[in-house]
Amino acid sequence: MNPWLLLISVCIAIVLALWIPRLRLKRALSAPFPPEWDALLERNVGVYHKLPLPLRAQLQRLILQFLHEKNFTGAAGLAITDEIRVTIAAEACMLVLNRSSGVYPGLRYIIVYPTSFLVERSRPSEAGVVELGAHNLLGESWHNGKVILAWDSVLRGARDFSDGQNVVLHEFAHQLDNENGSADGAPLLANTSSYRSWARVLSEEFSELQDDTRHGRPSLMDHYGATNPAEFFAVATETFFEKPRQMAQNHAELFGVLKDYYRIDPGDWQEQ
């Protein structure tokens, strides 16, 4: 083949490879949000009807993008329906409102089980020995672009948006935490000073939760957050979205840091 022709063909192939996905996304985003999905979210996501209209419109657009880009697979006989896809997408996208960094660019697959699922994991026992055992999970976030969820827990967590328990918010907070390549409770932040205040506030709050857990004292955040800094960030995210008023009152600095990070104040939604 003529080398010039070959070069032109390669250039055209590269342009098409870049252009076609963008065109497909643009087309997906230009579609109107189906009214039946709107009704479904009113029914399934406890906080959806409280969102201010501009935020709701933004969330709908993010949901369209999420559903365009991610693959859903049912496990253990579960058939994937629009209800499952849209409910999970809505809650996942609440964490990325008011951002321009895309919708979980590293995430490809969401695997949904009908109920909790068993996994083999090695964990340290109380005696400090690492043991292999079967664990029942409601959700799991993998660093290789995968989230696994139990649908009954998803629905329970979505409908009751005030108990501080939400498996979708939890697992997708882990996805955000992973965006910089390490799950350490510190996601990508805007600048160096943000990292300084993040490290100070979250480590103080983490120690306090560990202390409460050790002494069996009640706490606003679930004691599971005392497991490690990554779990603390995921649990704090659940509390931030579901119990914003209590967090602002009792953990003001933590609330402020998370409000800066998520660029929203879920306490405002309770006013609506």
Binding site for Zn ion (CB under 5 A): 231, 234
**For Zn ion, which is the closer residue by CB, 58 or 227?**
227
- We find the least distance from the C-beta atom of residue 258 to Zn ion, in angstroms, to be 16
Query: Length of the chain, please?
Result: 272
- Shortest gap between Cβ of 142 and Zn ion (angstroms)? 11
Nearest distance from C-beta of residue 122 to Zn ion, angstroms: 17
Shortest Å, Cβ 124 to Zn ion: 16
Residue 179 or 265: which CB sits closer to Zn ion? 179
- Compare residues 41 and 171 and give the one whose CB is closer to Zn ion: 171
Taking the complex as a whole, how short is the minimal distance between the CB of residue 140 and Zn ion, in angstroms? 8
SS3 per-residue string spanning the chain: CCHHHHHHHHHHHHHHHHHHHHHHHHHHHHCCCCHHHHHHHHHHCCCHHHCCHHHHHHHHHHHHHHHHHCEEEECCCCCCCHHHHHHHHHHHHHCCCCCCCCCCCCCCEEEEECCCEEEEEEEECCCCCEEEEEEEECEEEECCCEEEEEHHHHHHHHHCCCCCCCHHHHHHHHHHHHCCCCCCCCCCCCCHHHHHHHHHHHHHHHHHHHHHHHCCCCCCCCHHHHCCHHHHHHHHHHHHHHCHHHHHHHCHHHHHHHHHHHCCCHHHHCCC
Q: Which is nearer to Zn ion, 65 or 166 (CB)?
A: 166
Please give the residue whose beta carbon sits closest to Zn ion in the complex.
234
CB of 139 to Zn ion, least distance (A): 8
- Contact call for residues 244 and 266 (beta carbons, < 8 A): yes
Q: Which is nearer to Zn ion, 59 or 235 (CB)?
A: 235
Taking the least distance from each CB to Zn ion, the nearer of 93 and 236 is 236
